[in-house]
Chains A and B, each alone.
Chain A
Amino acid sequence: MNCGSDALLLQANGVDPTVLAVRAVYQFGAGAGPGVANADDSENIAQLTGLSPASLAANGLSSSSTVGDWRATVIAKLGSATANQSVLAQ
């Protein structure tokens, strides 16, 4: 994961580069990641990313996983404060 370039990519998409958003780019790619970062919790990840069931499974997800499910797993690991913190100095 290259936090600096992923953060700049998110900014180029108009997305606030939080730790959670950078993680979305790392996990779902520069194409689909910014969309996942900007989706409501209820959105289905497979429908936003076009990932195959095998790719989803490799990421610990299924075809029914939502953006909220994914965010919850990241927040459980990092804590809410860290996950929502911007990776760029203000």
Chain B
Amino acid sequence: MKAFHLVSCVVALLAISAAHGQPEGEVVSGFQCVGINIPGLHLSQDDLRSGARFPLILDAPSEDAKAVRRISTIIYIAWPPVVENGFVKAMSYDGTTGWLEQNAIRPLRRADGTTGGCTLRRRADGQIMFHLEPGLGINN
């Protein structure tokens, strides 16, 4: 009877987790979220929307390296940061790693100026989703 009760409780807890949209997938460690460096890259509202002036993730830490992925406003970088020749090791949303110019990123901040990061989870389809700590944004 006790065993049945225990199983019922576990099932109930799992149902509650599902109902609250518990994030799915295994946690990806060794990488953290940062934001695109709006002031450092002198990005306007139009630039943020179009992404036209966003730097690219390259296959080597060199200006003449080949582009492998584009970036968006939230960027994944190796954590602790790995910096080589002015480039930081980065990872795209599908897990492809490469190098991004160091000036392209800055910490995510809350309105009060404190910094924070995220939890990354790899979905079954390989996509790496982010969940930011509360209050963080690219404009703060």
Contact = CB atoms under 8 A, between A and B. Distances in A.
Contacts of B23: 40
A88 B136 CA distance: 33
A13 B72 contact: yes
B78 interface: no
Contacts of A9: 70
Given A39-B129, A46-B137, A31 B69 contact: no
A16 B122 CA distance: 13
A32 interface: yes
B125 interface: yes
Given A32-B48, A33-B72, A50-B139, A13 B21 contact: no
B73 A50 contact: yes
Interface string A17-56: 0000000000011111111001111111011111010000
Nearest to B47: A31
A68 B137 contact: no
Nearest to A39: B130
A89 interface: no
Interface residues of B, number: 35
A84 to B, nearest CB: 10
A9 B56 CA distance: 12
A interface bracket (residues with beta carbon within 8 Å of B): 20 to 34
Interface stretch (B1-9, B79-87, B88-96, B99-107): B88-96
Contact of B51 (A14, A29, A42, A48): A29
Interface in A2-18: 9, 12-16
A33 B70 CA distance: 12
A41 B130 contact: no
Contacts of A47: 132, 135-140
Interface of A: 9, 12-16, 28-35, 38-44, 46-50, 52, 68
Interface of B: 21, 23, 38, 45, 47-52, 54, 69-74, 92-96, 125, 127-132, 135-140
